[in-house]
Amino acid sequence: MPSIAIQKVQTVSSVFWREESLATRAARFDGRLYAPAEVPDAPGLVLHLHGGHFNSGSLAEGEAVATVLAEAGAVVFSLSYPLAPAHRFPEALDSIYVALDALARGRAKWTTRKAPVYVAGEEAGGNLAAALAMMARDRGGPALAGQILLSPMLDACLGTASLRAAQAGPVGCRWADGWADYLGAPERAAHPYATPLNAARLAGLPPALLISAQDDPMRDEVAQYATLLTKAGVAVNHIVEAAPTHWPKAYAEAPREGSCLCSARGAIADFYARTAPS
């Protein structure tokens, strides 16, 4: 059994985590490694990318989602990825892809040699996870068992009704500011890795679990992405939590019984079970 199952450095609910690093030839990434108190016999390995708006967010703010991903039955590496505007598309995404590849190649260190690998993220982290799934498809690996996207930021246009209801506008809008910092130039929004909702080719992507809520500003673009993925032949499970959930702020709150994150835990566990190799 992996040593992480007994290294109880920090306690979060029924999950334990410790500070961890991931070394590649080009860089060293800091992060947190989460594991459930009772590790399954063959747990999957999840690369988790915390929320925020490309220019914000932290490992601490991603703790609640990482905890739920682990509680559902996986080992989770939550990555401290480079933030905009100091690190922009595509360089920031390319460096995260290098981290994903290194994590998959070294998975035996944390789980097993043949453990299924997933990407997951909320908000901007959901955008990055969706882009990583495309990159892994296009670059021949690593093979991903699935993608778990929670209220992902998928479209820089900010024109949906759910975003308008959140009073998202071009001035003083954290989503608009985040997109501007991440892209740097408006023409970069045309790239499918930057705005997955605008991708012309979605076939061949791994199964997707999309989680949103009735009061989620990303609700409409998540629904559109679910439809496009389905039309492309990708297996999709799209869940919309009933309001009020106070999403996406709820992602930073500790999971508790009855909360939207705890409600999503069962869906995530089921997703692991359906997508893990038999």
121-136: per-residue pLDDT in tens?
A: 999 999 999 999 999 9
Strand order in the sheet with 117-122: 10-12, 15-23, 28-36, 74-79, 44-49, 117-122, 146-150, 208-213, 236-241
Segment 86-113 shows an average pLDDT of 95
What confidence category does residue 40 fall into, taking pLDDT thresholds of 50, 70 and 90?
Answer: confident
Rounded Cα distance between 73 and 52, Å, is 25
pTM, two decimal places: 0.92
Q: Look up residue 233 and give its amino acid.
A: G
**Nearest by Cα to 58 from 15, 113, 122:** 122
- pLDDT confidence of residue 82: 95
Inform me whether the pLDDT recorded for 167 exceeds 80.
no
pLDDT of residue 3: 33
- Summarised one tens digit per residue, pLDDT across range 204-228 is 999 999 999 998 999 999 999 999 9
